[in-house]
Amino acid sequence: MGPIDAAVAAARYADPDVVRERDRRHVWHTWTPVGADRSAAMFTHASGYRIWDIDGREYIEGSALNSTCGYAHPEVTRAVAEQAGRLHHVDVSLTSHDLAGALAERIASYLPAPLTRTLFVNSGSEGFDAAVLMAVGHAAHQGRPRSRIVAFARGYQGATVLARSLSDLPRCRHPMTAPLPVTLVDLPLPPRDLRRPEALPVLLDAFERAIGADPADPPAAVVVEPFLNVGGGVVLPPGFLAGLRALCDATGTLLVVDEVFTAYGRAGAMFACARDGVVPDVVVSSKGLAGGYVPIAAVTAGEHVYEGFAADPVIGGLRYGHTTSGHAVACAAALATLDVLEKENLVERAEWLGGRMAARVAHLAGTGEVVDVRRLGLVVVLEMTTEDAALAVLARARAHGLLLRRQGAAVMAVPPLVIDDAGADALVDRLLAALPGPA
């Protein structure tokens, strides 16, 4: 064992109490209340849909929002290692590498024309900074400057100042000046009613009013998710994106679709918008793209948006990018992930498996502490009566060897797309065991 292996082994396999104490003392965990102990759930290794904690306990993974190929997939890990040893990175603002075009072309192949032009960034949040710059720039290029954005109040586009300004979720509120005017649309119906076809005119009416809220200041873009992830696992009515497309066309507004969570199989399709036959002007995707192996996000724009940036007076293009944008290892991980999705037919399977899992819990809707059961692709959502009830389900599930996600009062099962039938059955068994019994 060389010195590096020894150091890694020492860090990994030291006394669990020492490892936990280090974490408690030195790590500032993302989105975490001060004093909360995240070292209580400390993981050391994983395979497929199973993950082990530092005490050797095994869990079914149902909480990884970005997991497509699962953990330690041999094809993805091999692609990452090979690329790191061949060419890990060059600056794509000045040069390029052989995988950037291959990945951008691949993404374009899943989307309708004219969505053929991809800007790579490292996270969904950065993707929205870029997408909003694109929308505002596009309006200027059309000779009608606009900067207002319309978005869901319960939407979540990310953590940067700009991205969080597109939301009214409590976690997104900030003490800084919003960089541009935003009109937020509240859910006009409770989440449990929103997926029904009757909700469509009500929801579209709310967006129409927001778009027309200030006739002197029409919006540059409407920014929406096809499924509100952080906003509580909210399924929207069929025809929502198509209806928004029509509203945007009527008002010269760009439609920017947030597929950070939904793309690459999670929603049971490569892209939810493409499945719905809708052509946005800009699509942002991220989580499933490289399955969480390496950070990457893609902002894919129509050629009509791209070409207008030739008029930029400073650089003749979009003034945006990061040192690690289009990182070659991330591109390699993404291409390998997409290969696995296609070879293992994981996208179609996600739709089928999600349906099978949801069928086993559907009867719980409206009983006990379960307000609603809903699903999109391979995401099963149980909305509980309160956040505390949802927290209790998560704690009991963990005790039964199952990791779940919580967004507000919604409990979400989000397993890797590679989970097999037996794993999915065990996940639902453990979820059922974690629900409160009759009082």
Residue nearest to ligand PLP as judged by C-beta position: 124
Q: State whether residue 419 is helix, strand or coil.
A: coil
Between CA 315 and CA 55 the distance in angstroms is 54
Q: Is 167 in the site for ligand PLP (CB under 6 A)?
A: no
Interface pick for ligand PLP out of 68, 125, 167, 300 (rule CB under 6 A): 125
Among 48, 62, 158, 280, binds ligand PLP (CB under 6 A): 158
Please tell me whether residue 156 binds ligand PLP under the rule CB under 6 A: yes
Residue selected from 150, 204, 230, 346 as contacting ligand PLP according to rule CB under 6 A: 230
Q: Is 325 in the site for ligand PLP (CB under 6 A)?
A: no
Q: Which of the ranges 222-230, 269-277, 323-331, 353-361 carries the binding residues for ligand PLP, by CB under 6 A?
A: 222-230
Alpha carbon distances (Å) from 14 to 28, 31, 216, 385: 21, 27, 63, 42
Contact range with ligand PLP by CB under 6 A, out of 49-57, 151-159, 213-221, 347-355: 151-159
**Cβ-based nearer residue to ligand PLP, 159 or 433:** 159
Distance of CA 88 to the CA centre of its chain: 25
- Residue 120 as a binder of ligand PLP (CB under 6 A): the answer is no
How many residues sit close enough to ligand PLP to count as binding (CB under 6 A)? 14
Q: Does 131 bind ligand PLP (CB under 6 A)?
A: no
* Interaction of residue 68 with ligand PLP, rule CB under 6 A: no
Contacts for 380 with CB less than 8 Å, ≥ 6 apart = 354, 357, 358, 361, 373, 412, 413, 431
Indicate whether 261 belongs to the interface with ligand PLP (CB under 6 A). Answer: yes
DSSP string, 120-181: EESSHHHHHHHHHHHHHHHHHHTT----EEEEETT----SSHHHHTT---GGG--SSPPSS-
State how far the alpha carbon of 145 is from the alpha carbons of 252, 340, 354, in Å: 12, 43, 44
* d(C-alpha 25, C-alpha 35), whole Å: 10
Q: Which helix (H) or strand (E) covers residue 433, if one does?
A: helix 421-434
Which of 39, 157 has the CB closer to ligand PLP? 157
Q: The tokens 């009830």 sit on which residue?
A: 389
Which of 266, 222, 212 lies closest to 67 in space, CA to CA? 266
Contact with ligand PLP (CB under 6 A): which of 61, 129, 208, 258?
Answer: 258
Polymer length of the chain: 439
The region of 97-105, 152-160, 268-276, 373-381 touching ligand PLP under the rule CB under 6 A is: 152-160
Instruction: Show Cβ contacts of residue 214 under 8 Å, excluding neighbours closer than 6 positions.
Output: 148, 183
Among 229, 285, 324, 325, binds ligand PLP (CB under 6 A): 229
Give the nearest distance from C-beta 230 to ligand PLP in angstroms.
Answer: 5
Nearest distance from C-beta of residue 157 to ligand PLP, angstroms: 5
What are 414's two structure tokens? 């989000």
CB of 360 to ligand PLP, least distance (A): 26
Q: Please, which residue, 159 or 161, has the CB nearer to ligand PLP?
A: 159
Return the C-alpha torsion angle 315, 316, 320, 324, nearest 10: -80
Site string for ligand PLP, 273-302 (x = CB under 6 A): -------------x----------------
**Which residues contact ligand PLP by CB under 6 A?**
123-125, 156-159, 225, 229-230, 258, 260-261, 286
